[in-house]
Amino acid sequence: MRTRRGIGAVGAALVVGTLLAGSGPAQAAGAEVPFTAKLDGQIAFTSDTTVAWSGTGTGLQLGSATGSGSIALTGPDDGCPGGIANVHTATLTAASGDTLTLTSADVACPVSPYEFHGSGHWTVTAGTGRFAGVTGSGSIIGHGNFATGVFTVSWTGSLTL
Give residue 161's pLDDT.
Answer: 86
Q: How many CB atoms lie within 10 A of CB 56?
A: 12
Q: How far is 61 from 94, CA to CA, in rounded Å?
A: 9
pLDDT band at 159 (very low <50, low <70, confident <90, very high): very high
Amino acid 52 reads A
pTM exceeds 0.85, yes or no? no
Tens digit of each residue's pLDDT (9 = 90 or more) over 68-110: 999 999 999 999 999 999 999 999 999 999 999 999 999 999 9
Mean pLDDT value across residues 8-35: 50
Q: Does residue 24 surpass a pLDDT of 60?
A: no
CA 65 to chain centre: 10
Q: How far is 158 from 31, CA to CA, in rounded Å?
A: 10
Q: Report which of 109, 114, 73, 66 is spatially closest to residue 90, judged by C-alpha positions.
A: 66
Average pLDDT, the chain: 87
Give residue 28's pLDDT.
Answer: 59
CATH, domain 28-160, list 2.60.120, 3.90.1200, 2.40.160, 1.10.3470: 2.40.160
Give residue 30's pLDDT.
Answer: 84
Query: Exposed, middle or buried: residue 24 (CB in 10 Å: 0-12, 13-18, 19+)?
Result: exposed
Q: Which residue has the higher pLDDT, 3 or 115?
A: 115
pLDDT band at 27 (very low <50, low <70, confident <90, very high): low
Q: Which residue has the higher pLDDT, 131 or 30?
A: 131
Give residue 123's pLDDT.
Answer: 98
Q: How many CB atoms lie within 10 A of CB 97?
A: 8
Helix, strand, or coil (residue 131)? helix
Q: Which residue has the higher pLDDT, 27 or 48?
A: 48
